[in-house]
Amino acid sequence: MEITVILSQENETLPKAELLARLEILGINYNILEEYPGIIQLEVDAVQEDIVDLGSHLGYTHEILETISKSTPDNLRSDVEEINWDDIISGSFKVRVKRMGNGDVDKDGIEYHIGGYIKESSHVKVLLDNPEYTIKLVFTDPVIETNEYNESRVVGYNQVFITNLVVEQDKKHFFDNKPHKRPYFHPGSMSPKLALCMANLARVHRGDVVLDPFCGTGGILIEAGHLGTKLIGSDIEKQMYEGTKLNLAHEGFEDFNIMWEDVRKIHLDTPVDAVAMDPPYGISTTLGGDDTCQLYHEALINIADNIKDDGFICMASPHYIDLSEVVEDTPLVIEQQHGIRMHKSLTRIITVLYKK
């Protein structure tokens, strides 16, 4: 089947990388067909249930839609009329227009006229609240105009994807799991969206054992736990160790092991499947008096001893740390890196490594 994926545009590279990593996790073969700002279209070897599973656990993907047909703004009405809608919908529906870049489109008029045609041809009722089907007309391949002040705006579109919504992001999950809503909170805690993304980039599978050796308040472990994993964490600070246990129990997890331990002294009986971590940096965190680069290097040496061969590690670090130097003399290889601009003087680097 062909799918149209609506990605978050908060970051240039992370959303696509997370999507492709989760496709790999689920063993879904894919072929990238087209890419536009905020959209990637793929052909996938999957059924609808697989796509629901795919989209239900992604931090930076808003929607996944089944591609019905492709059109242009000028030919949209005639192309819609060529579709046998009896094969597409069998219950209540609504039509929605999505404009990538908020270009000038008669959104209400298109929804009214296309929805009216589909209703007439399929004899299925329109239902605006909780319909069985949502037909989305995604306007993309934007025409961009730049003025004399180098300001750009979308003035039109070259393509329209006619789609059926399969799964959309559960925004309530991320809202309800904001760090300050947990029993134990500490400033600087990672957002649930990024924590889930990092778990996916670490290639976390259901049933895996996942380690976060800098667990802090447990944010990464919480998102990994919702993927159906067994959790191991550690932190050198006792209040973090206690706080993580409190937060994991509050989430309803039972299968976890949290240690009050220095990452460089962890020795596990059985290697873990994946590691996702946000090591400390800067004056607001405790480094035990050690240089950050030295800590990272020594931590990665020990983590490599406690992760299975070909296992993945996803870690966050500040831009001024050169991880290519940090991983020297370790069995770890950098696979990919993504930058997240935090503020004027700091960019956070999300790095994916694997043990060769």
| Per-residue model confidence (pLDDT) at position 152 | 86
CA distance 170 to 52: 12
pLDDT tens-digit profile of 184-197? 998 888 999 999 99
Crossing angle of helices 14-25 and 192-201, in 10° steps, is: 50
Find the farthest-apart pair of alpha carbons in the chain and give their distance in angstroms, rounded.
Answer: 72
Residue that has been written with the tokens 């800098």 in this structure = 214
**Phi, psi at 41, each rounded to 5°:** -110, 130
- What confidence score (pLDDT) does residue 29 get? 98
Are residues 141 and 99 in contact, defined by beta-carbon separation less than 8 angstroms? no
Question: Taking the model in full, what pTM does it have?
Answer: 0.94
Which pLDDT belongs to residue 283? 42
More reliable by pLDDT, 112 or 288: 112
- pLDDT tens-digit readout, 269-294: 999 999 999 998 754 445 544 588 88
Angstrom CA distances, 335 to 50, 311, 323, 338, stand at: 26, 12, 12, 11
For residue 204, what is the DSSP state? P
Q: Cα–Cα distance between 61 and 202 in angstroms, integer?
A: 17
- Check if the beta carbon of residue 283 is closer than 8 Å to that of residue 319: no
Q: Are 224 and 204 in contact (CB under 8 A)?
A: yes
Helix, strand or coil, per DSSP, at residue 45 = coil
